[in-house]
Amino acid sequence: MTSAARVAVIGATGYVGFELAKLLLRHPRMNTPLFFLRNGARADEHVRCLADLFPHLRGWGEAPCYPFSVEAVAASGVDVALLATPHEASLALVPELLAAGLRVVDLSGAFRFRDGQTFRRWYHLPAPDATWTQQAVYGLPELYAEGLPQARLVANPGCYPTAVILALRPLRDAGWIAAERGIVCDCKSGVTGAGKEPKRETHFVEVDENFRAYNVFQHRHTPEILEHTGFDPRTLVFTTHLLPIARGILATLYVWLNAPRRSEEIEALYRQFYAGRPMVRIWPAGHLPEIQHVAGTNFCDLGFVLDADGERLVLVSCLDNLGKGAAGQAVQNLNHMLHYPEDTGLR
Task: Report, as residue numbers or ranges, the catalytic residues.
Answer: 159
CA torsion, ordered 108, 110, 111, 114, to nearest 10 deg: 130
Nearest to 79 by CA among 187, 158, 181, 152: 152
Distance CA 234, CA 263 (A): 28
Minimum CB separation of residue 22 from a second copy in Å reads 10
Minimum CB separation of residue 173 from a second copy in Å reads 22
Nearer to a second copy, 147 or 278 (CB): 278
User: Which H/E stretch holds residue 342?
Assistant: none
Distance CA 132, CA 122 (A): 18
Nearer to a second copy, 175 or 205 (CB): 205
Distance CA 113, CA 230 (A): 13
Nearer to a second copy, 59 or 101 (CB): 59
Nearer to a second copy, 80 or 179 (CB): 179
Is 345 in contact with 321 (CB distance < 8 Å)?
Answer: no
Is 154 in contact with 140 (CB distance < 8 Å)?
Answer: no
Minimum CB separation of residue 123 from a second copy in Å reads 18
Nearer to a second copy, 38 or 281 (CB): 281
DSSP structural state of residue 32: P
Minimum CB separation of residue 84 from a second copy in Å reads 16
User: Which H/E stretch holds residue 268?
Assistant: helix 263-273
Residue 319 pairs in a beta bridge with 249, 300
Minimum CB separation of residue 21 from a second copy in Å reads 13
